[in-house]
Amino acid sequence: MNFILLKLKSFSRSFVLRTKSPDFERSMVIRMENQNIVLTKEMFARVGVNEQQSEKVARPSISYWQDAWRRLKQNKVAMISMGFLIFVILMCIFAPYIYPHSYDEQNLAYTNQGSTVQHIFGLDDLGRDIFARIWVGGRVSLSIGLVGAVISLAVGVIYGGISGYFGGVIDDVMMRIVEVLVGIPYMVVVILVSIVLGKGMVSLIIALCITSWTGLARLVRGQVLNLMECEYILAAKALGTPTFKIILKHLLPNILSIIIVNTTFTIPGFIFSEAFLSFIGMGIQPPNTSWGAMAALGQQQMSYYPHELLFPAAAISLTMLAFNLLGDGLRDAFDPKLRQ
Partner 1 sequence: MNSREPLVKVEHLKKYFNMRKKGVLKAVDDVSFEIYPGETVGLVGESGCGKTTCGRTILGLYPATEGKIEFQGKDISQLKDKKEIIEFKKNVQMIFQDPYASLNPRMTVGDIIAEGMINHHVPGGNDRIQELLAMVGLNKEYTNRFPHEFSGGQRQRIGIARALAVDPKFIVCDEPISALDVSIQAQVVNLLVRLQEQLGLTYLFIAHDLSMVKHISDHVGVMYMGQLVEFSSSNELYKHPAHFYTKALLSAIPIPDPKLEKTKTVLPLEGEVGSPINCGPGCRFMSRCKYATEQCGIATPELKEIGKGHFVACHVLENA
- In the bound state with partner 1, the residue whose beta carbon lies nearer, of 120 and 256, is 256
Q: Is 254 exposed, middle or buried (0-12, 13-18, 19+ CB in 10 A)?
A: middle
Between 214 and 233, how does the x/- string for binding to partner 1 read (CB under 8 A)? Answer: ----------------xxx-
Q: How far is the CB of 59 from partner 1 (least distance, A)?
A: 8
Stretch that binds partner 1, among 32-40, 61-69, 149-157, 307-315 (CB under 8 A): 61-69
143 binds partner 1 (CB under 8 A): no
Residues 249-278 that bind partner 1 (CB under 8 A): 249-250, 253-254
Sites for partner 1 among residues 232-251 (CB under 8 A): 232, 234-242, 249-250
CB 290 within 8 Å of CB 161: no
Question: Under the criterion CB under 8 A, does residue 33 sit at the interface with partner 1?
Answer: no
287 exposure class (CB count in 10 Å sphere: 0-12, 13-18, 19+): exposed
Give least dist CB 229 to partner 1, A.
8
Does position 15 interact with partner 1 (CB under 8 A)? The reply is no
Is residue 168 exposed (0-12), middle (13-18) or buried (19+ Cβ within 10 Å)? exposed
Q: Of 139 and 331, which CB lies nearer to partner 1 in the complex structure?
A: 331
Residue 73 binds partner 1 (CB under 8 A) = no
Which of the residues 79 through 118 are near partner 1 (CB under 8 A)? none
Strands 6-8 and 44-46: antiparallel
Q: Is 96 exposed, middle or buried (0-12, 13-18, 19+ CB in 10 A)?
A: middle
Examine residue 61 and tell whether it contacts partner 1 (CB under 8 A). yes
Mark the segment that binds partner 1 (CB under 8 A) among 40-48, 51-59, 101-109, 189-197: 51-59
Residue 328, Cβ density class (10 Å: 0-12 exposed, 13-18 middle, ≥19 buried)? middle
CB 162 within 8 A of CB 292: no
CA distance to 90, 106, 138, 262, 334, per residue, from 69 (Å): 22, 47, 28, 17, 9
Q: Which of 197, 204, 216 is nearest to 144 (CA)?
A: 204
280 binds partner 1 (CB under 8 A): no
Stretch binding partner 1 (CB under 8 A), from 52-60, 135-143, 155-163, 189-197: 52-60
Tally helices (H) and strands (E) across the chain. 13, 4
User: Strand, helix or coil at 280?
Assistant: coil
303 contributes a contact to partner 1 by CB under 8 A: no
One of 22, 183, 287, 336 touching partner 1 (CB under 8 A): 336
- CA atoms of 163 and 157, how far apart (whole Å): 10
Q: How far is the CB of 58 from partner 1 (least distance, A)?
A: 11
Give the footprint of partner 1 on this chain (CB under 8 A).
Answer: 52, 55-57, 59, 61, 63-64, 230-232, 234-242, 249-250, 253-254, 336, 339
